[in-house]
């Protein structure tokens, strides 16, 4: 666990130092994901982004839902301090907490919509996290589970070995995510997938010296190709409590 947190601290620190925390291709990926968040959070007002990282998604969601009350949580002090400073700068009044998703510092039924981009596949104890996420969700509230996709055709394990991550990472299929939610008493109400499989292509282009601008062009084209939802880089399931 500690080792994993160290890995995340290093990851966030590097991203902040390089000012590389929002790359163009990333923004494009997030557009598709955030579209799902905005669609499913319609009519919801107490939003919770668990494992929020450096807070970029919360800022965008708040931009489109300025009347919603936003809480965010991450266990990385580096990430959460950065998120707080960013929120202050952008005028987002949010409840930003440094805490663990396995032991949420919120009362039962505190939120009506909980979401997090891809983080479910970074959790070593997914059942413990789900127990807490379900507890803090009010009846009829929605929970979005989103993860790296184990069904991606270019091989999720290959990606993991190529990138050499300093933190825990696994992958799930849509069916596996659905099973998790059902096991915890939730009702699946929607499915989604976003981004095509191009992390390895990005790495390859970088290695052979293609600059960011060129890579963005190639990756945008690839991303626009039609691909079935279940084969996208990230997949997700939306549940009702
Ligand atoms: C893949 S990042 C996603 C960050 C954010 N959702 C985004 O898309 O930019 C996963 C995040 O989970 C956080 N994390 C991992 N394990 C955690 C835990 N047990 N409790 C709270 N946060 C955790 C990490 O610090 C990291 O910020």
Which of ligand 1's atoms lies nearest the C-alpha of 56?
9
Question: Domain segments of the chain: what residues?
Answer: 2-240
| Cβ pair 143, 135 in contact under 8 A | no
pLDDT tens for each residue of 68-93: 999 999 999 999 999 999 889 888 88
Residue 53 Cα to ligand 1 midpoint, Å, equals 5
Check pLDDT > 60 for residue 229: yes
| Cβ pair 133, 143 in contact under 8 A | yes
pLDDT tens for each residue of 88-135: 988 888 999 999 999 999 999 999 999 999 899 999 999 999 999 999
| Cβ pair 109, 139 in contact under 8 A | yes
Q: What is the distance between the alpha carbons of residues 104 and 92, in angstroms, rounded to a whole number?
A: 22
Q: What is the distance between the alpha carbons of residues 224 and 239, in angstroms, rounded to a whole number?
A: 27
**CATH 3.40.50.150 given to domain 2-240:** yes
Q: Which of 58, 57, 56, 83 is nearest to 68 (CA)?
A: 58
Q: What is the pLDDT of residue 152?
A: 82
Q: State the pTM of this model.
A: 0.89
Q: Which residues contact 61 (CB under 8 A, 6 or more apart)?
A: 34, 37, 38, 41, 47, 49, 68, 70
Extract the tokens encoding 3: 């080792």
Extract the tokens encoding 100: 């663990």
Q: Which residues pair with 49 in a beta bridge?
A: 72, 115
Residue 169 Cα to ligand 1 midpoint, Å, equals 11
Task: For ligand 1, say whether the CB of 132 is within 6 Å of any of its atoms.
Answer: no
Check pLDDT > 70 for residue 49: yes
Extract the tokens encoding 189: 């109400």
Q: Which of 134, 222, 225 is nearest to 186 (CA)?
A: 134
Strands 187-194 and 234-240: antiparallel
Task: For ligand 1, say whether the CB of 52 is within 6 Å of any of its atoms.
Answer: yes
Q: Which of 144, 120, 174, 129 is nearest to 42 (CA)?
A: 144
Task: For ligand 1, say whether the CB of 117 is within 6 Å of any of its atoms.
Answer: yes
Q: What is the distance between the alpha carbons of residues 96 and 93, in angstroms, rounded to a whole number?
A: 9
pLDDT tens for each residue of 142-171: 999 999 999 887 767 777 777 777 888 899
Extract the tokens encoding 49: 């982004």
Task: For ligand 1, say whether the CB of 121 is within 6 Å of any of its atoms.
Answer: no
């Amino acid at each position: 666990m500690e080792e994993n947190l160290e890995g995340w601290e290093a990851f966030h620190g590097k991203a902040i130092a390089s000012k590389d925390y929002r790359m163009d291709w990333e923004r494009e990926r997030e557009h598709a994901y955030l579209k799902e968040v905005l669609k499913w959070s319609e009519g919801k007002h107490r939003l919770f982004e668990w494992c929020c990282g450096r807070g970029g998604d919360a800022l965008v969601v708040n931009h489109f839902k300025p009347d919603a009350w936003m809480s965010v949580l991450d266990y990385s002090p580096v990430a959460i301090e950065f998120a707080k400073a960013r929120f202050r700068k952008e005028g987002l009044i949010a409840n930003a907490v440094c805490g663990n998703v396995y032991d949420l510092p919120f009362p039962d039924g505190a939120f009506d919509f909980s979401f997090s981009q891809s983080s479910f596949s970074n959790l070593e104890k997914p059942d413990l996290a789900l127990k807490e996420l379900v507890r803090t969700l009010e009846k009829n509230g929605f929970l979005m589970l989103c993860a790296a996709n184990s069904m991606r055709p270019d091989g999720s394990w290959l990606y993991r070995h190529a990138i050499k991550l300093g933190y825990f990472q696994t992958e799930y299929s849509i069916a596996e995510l659905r099973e998790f939610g059902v096991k915890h008493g939730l009702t699946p109400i929607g499915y989604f997938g976003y981004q095509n499989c191009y992390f390895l292509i990005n790495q390859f282009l970088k290695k052979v010296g293609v600059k960011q601008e060129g890579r963005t062009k190639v990756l945008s084209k690839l991303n626009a190709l039609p691909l079935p939802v279940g084969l996208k880089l990230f997949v997700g399931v939306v549940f009702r409590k």
